[in-house]
Structure 1
Protein backbone atom coordinates (compact mmCIF):
# COMPACT_ATOMS: atom_id res chain seq x y z
CA UNK A 1 0.00 0.00 0.00
CA UNK A 2 1.13 3.51 -0.78
CA UNK A 3 2.50 5.06 2.47
CA UNK A 4 0.58 8.26 1.84
CA UNK A 5 -2.67 6.30 1.51
CA UNK A 6 -1.91 4.35 4.70
CA UNK A 7 -1.30 7.64 6.53
CA UNK A 8 -4.50 9.20 5.17
CA UNK A 9 -6.57 6.12 6.02
CA UNK A 10 -5.22 5.98 9.59
CA UNK A 11 -5.83 9.67 10.28
CA UNK A 12 -9.31 9.52 8.77
CA UNK A 13 -10.18 6.50 10.92
CA UNK A 14 -8.97 8.27 14.08
CA UNK A 15 -10.86 11.47 13.24
CA UNK A 16 -14.08 9.57 12.51
CA UNK A 17 -13.74 7.69 15.81
CA UNK A 18 -13.45 10.97 17.72
CA UNK A 19 -9.88 10.48 18.92
CA UNK A 20 -8.33 13.28 21.00
CA UNK A 21 -6.70 15.77 18.62
CA UNK A 22 -3.54 15.74 20.75
CA UNK A 23 -3.11 12.02 20.05
CA UNK A 24 -3.69 12.55 16.33
CA UNK A 25 -1.19 15.41 16.17
CA UNK A 26 1.37 13.29 18.00
CA UNK A 27 0.73 10.35 15.70
CA UNK A 28 1.13 12.54 12.63
CA UNK A 29 4.42 14.02 13.90
CA UNK A 30 5.78 10.61 14.85
CA UNK A 31 4.73 9.05 11.55
CA UNK A 32 6.80 11.55 9.59
CA UNK A 33 9.58 11.50 12.22
CA UNK A 34 9.21 15.19 12.94
CA UNK A 35 10.89 16.47 16.10
CA UNK A 36 8.67 16.31 19.18
CA UNK A 37 7.07 19.46 20.52
CA UNK A 38 8.74 21.52 23.19
CA UNK A 39 8.63 19.72 26.53
CA UNK A 40 6.09 22.10 28.09
CA UNK A 41 3.61 21.42 25.26
CA UNK A 42 3.76 17.60 25.37
CA UNK A 43 0.63 15.96 26.78
CA UNK A 44 0.10 12.30 27.60
CA UNK A 45 -2.12 11.95 24.52
CA UNK A 46 0.47 13.60 22.26
CA UNK A 47 3.28 11.39 23.61
CA UNK A 48 1.23 8.22 23.15
CA UNK A 49 0.33 9.23 19.61
CA UNK A 50 3.94 10.14 18.80
CA UNK A 51 5.19 6.72 19.90
CA UNK A 52 2.53 4.91 17.84
CA UNK A 53 3.23 7.14 14.86
CA UNK A 54 6.98 6.42 14.97
CA UNK A 55 6.09 2.73 14.66
CA UNK A 56 3.62 3.57 11.87
CA UNK A 57 1.11 1.67 14.01
CA UNK A 58 -2.47 2.76 13.25
CA UNK A 59 -3.91 0.78 16.19
CA UNK A 60 -4.28 1.39 19.90
CA UNK A 61 -5.98 4.76 19.66
CA UNK A 62 -9.21 3.54 21.27
CA UNK A 63 -8.07 4.66 24.72
CA UNK A 64 -7.88 8.21 23.37
CA UNK A 65 -11.42 8.43 21.95
CA UNK A 66 -13.19 11.38 23.56
CA UNK A 67 -16.34 10.35 25.33
Structure 2
Protein backbone atom coordinates (compact mmCIF):
# COMPACT_ATOMS: atom_id res chain seq x y z
CA UNK A 1 0.00 0.00 0.00
CA UNK A 2 1.18 3.52 -0.78
CA UNK A 3 1.28 5.29 2.59
CA UNK A 4 1.37 8.78 1.05
CA UNK A 5 -1.83 8.06 -0.92
CA UNK A 6 -3.59 6.59 2.10
CA UNK A 7 -2.59 9.43 4.44
CA UNK A 8 -3.67 12.08 1.94
CA UNK A 9 -7.11 10.50 1.42
CA UNK A 10 -7.66 10.10 5.16
CA UNK A 11 -6.65 13.74 5.74
CA UNK A 12 -9.04 14.95 3.03
CA UNK A 13 -11.89 12.88 4.45
CA UNK A 14 -11.25 14.19 7.99
CA UNK A 15 -11.18 17.75 6.64
CA UNK A 16 -14.61 17.13 5.07
CA UNK A 17 -13.36 17.92 1.56
CA UNK A 18 -15.88 17.70 -1.29
CA UNK A 19 -16.13 14.02 -2.32
CA UNK A 20 -15.87 15.06 -5.98
CA UNK A 21 -12.47 16.63 -5.25
CA UNK A 22 -11.31 13.48 -3.46
CA UNK A 23 -12.42 11.26 -6.35
CA UNK A 24 -10.66 13.51 -8.82
CA UNK A 25 -7.50 13.54 -6.70
CA UNK A 26 -7.52 9.75 -6.45
CA UNK A 27 -7.93 9.32 -10.21
CA UNK A 28 -5.22 11.86 -10.97
CA UNK A 29 -2.81 10.37 -8.43
CA UNK A 30 -3.27 6.91 -9.94
CA UNK A 31 -3.08 8.36 -13.48
CA UNK A 32 -6.50 6.99 -14.37
CA UNK A 33 -8.27 8.54 -17.36
CA UNK A 34 -10.41 11.56 -16.54
CA UNK A 35 -14.18 11.07 -16.40
CA UNK A 36 -16.27 11.63 -19.50
CA UNK A 37 -17.02 15.28 -20.16
CA UNK A 38 -20.66 15.32 -19.04
CA UNK A 39 -19.70 14.05 -15.57
CA UNK A 40 -16.89 16.55 -14.89
CA UNK A 41 -17.26 19.05 -12.08
CA UNK A 42 -15.03 21.91 -11.01
CA UNK A 43 -14.12 20.05 -7.82
CA UNK A 44 -13.28 16.84 -9.69
CA UNK A 45 -11.05 18.67 -12.19
CA UNK A 46 -9.22 20.57 -9.43
CA UNK A 47 -8.64 17.32 -7.54
CA UNK A 48 -7.52 15.53 -10.69
CA UNK A 49 -4.87 18.16 -11.46
CA UNK A 50 -3.59 18.12 -7.86
CA UNK A 51 -3.51 14.32 -7.88
CA UNK A 52 -1.50 14.23 -11.12
CA UNK A 53 1.08 16.45 -9.44
CA UNK A 54 1.01 14.21 -6.33
CA UNK A 55 0.15 17.38 -4.37
CA UNK A 56 -1.08 16.22 -0.97
CA UNK A 57 -1.60 19.77 0.35
CA UNK A 58 -3.68 21.36 -2.44
CA UNK A 59 -6.99 20.38 -0.85
CA UNK A 60 -6.29 22.83 1.99
CA UNK A 61 -6.56 25.78 -0.38
CA UNK A 62 -9.49 24.35 -2.37
CA UNK A 63 -12.85 25.57 -1.15
CA UNK A 64 -15.77 25.07 -3.47
Instruction: Return the alpha-carbon distance in structure 2 between the equivalents of residues 5 and 64 of structure 1.
Output: 25
Q: CA RMSD in A?
A: 1.4
Structure 1 segments unaligned to the other structure (5+ residues) = none
TM-score (norm 2): 0.92
Instruction: Return the alpha-carbon distance in structure 2 between the equivalents of residues 53 and 6 of structure 1.
Output: 12
TM-score (norm 1): 0.88
Q: Tell me the equivalent position of 1:21.
A: 19
- The alpha carbon displacement at 1:64 in A equals 3.3
* 1:28-66 CA-partner distances (Å, limit 9, x unpaired): 00000000000000000000000000000011213237x
Residue pairs, 1:1-67, within 5 angstroms: 4-62=2-60, 63-64=62-63
Displaced runs of 4 or more, over 2 A:
62-65
Instruction: Return the alpha-carbon distance in structure 2 between the equivalents of residues 32 and 54 of structure 1.
Output: 8
Give the number of equivalent residue pairs.
63
